[in-house]
Amino acid sequence: MTAPLLDVRDASRSFSGLLAVDSVSFGLNEGETVAIIGPNGAGKTTLFNLISGQLAPTGGSIHLRGEAIDRLPPDARARRGIGRTFQVTKPLTGMTALENVMVGTFLHHRGFTESYASAYAILEEVGLAPRAQVQVNELTLSERRRLEVARALGTDPALILLDEVMAGLNATEINAQIELIRQIGARGIAFLLIEHNLEVVRSFSRRVIVLDHGAKIAEGTADEVLSDPAVIEAYLGKQDE
């Protein structure tokens, strides 16, 4: 059997004795899209931070293509193929959309011409080429969400961590964002996403992982996990009989 692209093994992270991530294990294959859901405070973003390198695990391990990466800094993980977006968009202010993407493309393209061409092609892919020379503070929220994806693509990733990339968007913008992610996924890039909109989760995630109080409480298809009594209780609380 082929090893998974990402292999998280009993990953844990504690803060002053509080377990924010509690022995979470799962695998993610090349080109696969998997959603992580759970109530607020479930440990979803902390898990992302363990994978991308903002935090080191206090237990367990994380492997990418069979290599242990849990002690590598974020830039080393980016070089190995992990890209990331953030729930709160974090463009580099005072720069254009194109320049924001070029920061990432310089990871693999040292020359200005090559970096410029790569960044512009990515903006074309995400539908932002007409806004390439616009200052990022002038972009709409929907455009900034697309720019987050573009910046992640600039590092030439095998895996992109999407942290609530649909947040704040209207129905039309969400559908456009879903279609964009599908198009990118069709060329073999894997996605691990945190998402609160369960209709979005149902629409394009083949597998869903549910966290509650830092622990994985369910894993399966969207229909399977969203009908699981433990998942329903985690979201809605225990119901009186």
pLDDT above 70: residue 241: no
Instruction: Report if residue 84 sits inside a domain.
Output: yes
pLDDT digits (tens, 9 = 90+) for 108-157: 888 899 999 999 999 999 999 999 999 999 999 999 999 999 999 999 99
Is residue 100, in this structure, part of any structural domain at all?
no
Residue 218 lies in a domain: yes
pLDDT in tens, 71-115: 999 999 999 999 999 888 888 899 999 999 999 999 888 889 999
Q: Give alpha helix (H) positions in 97-228.
A: 97-105, 112-126, 141-153, 171-185, 198-204, 222-226
Residue 137 to residue 145: CA distance in whole angstroms: 12
Name residue, tokens 């020359």. Answer: 111
In a domain, residue 145? The reply is: no
Q: Report the alpha-carbon distance of residue 150 to residue 88 in Å, rounded.
A: 15
Q: Taking CA 101 as the corner, what is the angle to CA 71 and CA 174, rounded to the nearest 5 degrees?
A: 95
Phi-psi region of 93 (alpha: psi -120 to 50; beta: other; left: phi over 0): beta
pLDDT at site 239: 47
Residue 238's pLDDT is what? 55
Residue 20 is part of a domain; what is its CATH number? 3.40.50.300
Residue 147 lies in a domain: no
In a domain, 188, yes or no: yes
User: Is 102 a domain residue?
Assistant: no
> With bands split at pLDDT 50, 70 and 90, how would you rate the model's confidence at 189?
very high
Task: Give the structural domain span for 53.
Answer: 13-90+157-194+201-236
Mean pLDDT of 217-232: 90
Structural domain tally of the chain?
1
In whole angstroms, how large is the CA radius of gyration of the chain?
18
Q: What is the pTM of this model?
A: 0.92
Q: Say which DSSP state 155 is in.
A: T
Q: Which residue is associated with the tokens 């009186």?
A: 240
Going by C-beta distance under 8 Å and a sequence separation of 6 or more, which residues neighbour residue 154?
83, 101, 102, 103, 104, 105, 107, 118, 119, 122
137 Ramachandran zone, left/alpha/beta (phi>0; psi -120 to 50): alpha
* 135 vs 238: which has the higher pLDDT: 135
- Residue pLDDT, tens place only, 37-72: 999 889 999 999 999 999 999 999 999 999 999 999
**36 occurs within a structural domain:** yes
